[in-house]
Amino acid sequence: MPTYKAPLRDMRFLINEVLDYSSHYASLSNGKDATPDMVEAILEGAATLCEEVLAPINLSGDAEGCTFSNGNVKTPEGFKEAYKAFVEGGWQGLSFPTEYGGQGLPMSVNVFKSEMAGTANWSFNMYPGLSIGCINTLMQYGTDAQKKLFLPPLVAGEWTGTMCLTEAQCGTDLAQVKTRAEPQADGTYKLTGTKIFISSGEHDLTDNIIHIVLARLPGAPAGTKGISLFVVPKVIVNADGSLGARNAVNCGSIEHKMGIRASSTALLNFDDATGYIIAEPNKGLEAMFTFMNTARIGTAIQGVAQAEASFQGALAYAKERRSMRALSGKKEPEFAADALIWHPDVRRMLLTQKAFAEGGRAMIYSAAQIADNMFNAVVEGDTKKYEDYDSRLGFYTPILKGFLTEMGLEAANLGMQVFGGHGYIHEHGMEHIARDARISTLYEGTTGIQALDLLGRKVLLGTRGKCVRDFTGLMWKFSKLHLFASSSVGSMARELTKRSVQWNILTTRIMLRAPGDKESVGAASFDFLMYSGYVMLAYFWALQAGKAQELWRLEKARNQQISTAPKSKPPSSISPVFCHAPTAIAKMHWHRRNR
């Protein structure tokens, strides 16, 4: 069974060095409390929760799964206790406004926590994870009364939320939604219909579940223009916030799934269930995309989480398992065979997993900064800034969701391959990761849907290629700083320059061909998405390499200064040339110099 260890060193490198989150938070209206000390405390606390509480019940939760009886769902042993610890720690409210009981920190802080929780136990992470989209939707489109009634317990984690879109006859094609909503004299609605594949639709972790539901009003226009959005609680909430009678929404069954077995996926029957409309009538799909985009970025985190989990398990196994001798001769002569890690093909697989995990993390953390800036623009009332950030994040979203989940699945399969036959056995945990990873390319829009969204809606129709030009502009800004360097970073910069030109040429060719052959867009979309993902991944790896080289040179210069400094001076009186270095580093160098 893999033992999860939060990759705090890698996370800190991105947060503190590559993406300079300290300066980023200083520029935000809600970032003043996200000081380096506060962020570090959150990282440490989340790591402890994930390593000591969530990870130990991951494999057992998969083996036990959820059980269904008479409309009720029981989560696996240990999940209720883990969820209680999650709620008591205030983890759900990290990035939500203080007026609803949250801690008011930027959204990206929650991303750091979500990545660790998802890597430790993705099934568990889905219960509070779906609530985030529910909260965001109510915050943006709910009435003041709805926010006051539903948001405080959701933000506290006392209740959870769901997204109810899919029906038996339609998944992505929401124009076929048939669930009905009949208006009542008191301003409420009665919803009737059946929704399937509802993650966290029924469970025993909380006393109430708040469903966000797509349905049609009487006489609504056909297709997506006639869809409205409603909030439907499992238990009716009284005006004072207390729980009343059970609503007419019931779980008919749960799915028996390939993976994420500890997460309940429910069939929900709405039989004249009481609901409350969100946003304007027949404008529900627009509001629902607030939830969808949250869910898609959350699923992109799943790709990174499962690449990281599989890499950690495979790396530990490759260091311990011995088989044959290295091609270049014995590496561990004291043993009958050398460790797997000495074999080049095993290192290839491990490094591929590492590339996806660490590169994907950088992609998501960068997107999280854009999301922070979007929220800040809303607070400032700057519509132009909001639209700019929204467009940038819209370009990222299908790449993150589509590409990173495909790479997470590939990394999970590579982890099984490193283990050989043992990877196929349940108790080693690797096949569990692969099974969990498989769903990530399917829900919240398949990879093909993300590809059409990227190429059709975002690149061709939405921006006429501007989004690609803007991103390749960032690539060129980095490349020109290192273009003529003889180092490996220089080689990366030159390759990035070629890819940025190629990406624009490919985009232009498809754009010119599309008017006369619309099918060519659909045929090219998957390859375009994957190409875009690889190039974006390369850019973020180059950023990390450039920063690592810069820090290495600084450290080398400090070492040289220390080696020539008088040996009699103690750490407290080190030369001002390097006194800006942290005290611990200065002391370390002084002791090395005076050994």
Largest CA distance in the chain: 88
Cα angle 393-397-403, degrees, rounded to a multiple of 5: 140
Q: Where are the alpha helices (DSSP H) in 420-486?
A: 430-438, 447-452, 466-482
Query: Rounded to whole angstroms, how far apart are CA atoms 553 and 482?
Result: 15
What the block records as the tokens of 49 is 């929760």
Query: Rounded to whole angstroms, how far apart are CA atoms 186 and 192?
Result: 18
- Residue (of 214, 210, 285) closest to 249 by Cα position: 210
Amino acid identity at 171 = G
- Residue (of 531, 545, 392, 565) closest to 473 by Cα position: 392
Q: How far is CA 267 from CA 21, 71, 256, 450, in A?
A: 42, 10, 12, 25
Query: Rounded to whole angstroms, how far apart are CA atoms 382 and 359?
Result: 32
Given the DSSP bridges, would you call strands 72-74 and 67-69 parallel, antiparallel or unpaired? antiparallel
Residues 511 and 520 sit within 8 Å (Cβ to Cβ)? no
Residues 86 and 92 sit within 8 Å (Cβ to Cβ)? yes
Q: How far is CA 216 from CA 78, 188, 270, 288, in A?
A: 40, 14, 13, 14
What the block records as the tokens of 165 is 């879109």
Q: How far is CA 119 from CA 124, 304, 442, in A?
A: 10, 8, 19
Angle, helices 344-380 vs 519-564, to 10°: value is 100
Exactly one of 444, 495, 519, 550 is catalytic; name it: 444
What the block records as the tokens of 562 is 């220390």
Mark whether 444 is an active-site residue.
yes
The contacts of residue 389 (CB under 8 Å, 6+ apart) are: 370, 371, 373, 374, 377
Amino acid identity at 80 = K
The contacts of residue 150 (CB under 8 Å, 6+ apart) are: 138, 142, 159, 210, 231, 233, 237
**Buried/exposed 198-212: b ≥16 CB within 10 Å, e otherwise:** bbbbbbebbebbbbb
Q: From its phi and psi, is residue 391 left (phi > 0), alpha (psi between -120 and 50) or beta?
A: alpha
Q: Is the dihedral of CA 527, 528, 534, 535 positive or negative?
A: positive
- Residue (of 413, 416, 420, 421) closest to 438 by Cα position: 413
Query: Rounded to whole angstroms, how far apart are CA atoms 492 and 494?
Result: 5
What the block records as the tokens of 231 is 């909030």
The contacts of residue 481 (CB under 8 Å, 6+ apart) are: 493, 546
DSSP annotation of 454: I
What the block records as the tokens of 299 is 């699923």
- Residue (of 435, 439, 442) closest to 416 by Cα position: 435
Radius of gyration of the chain (CA): 26
Kindly list the catalytic residues.
444
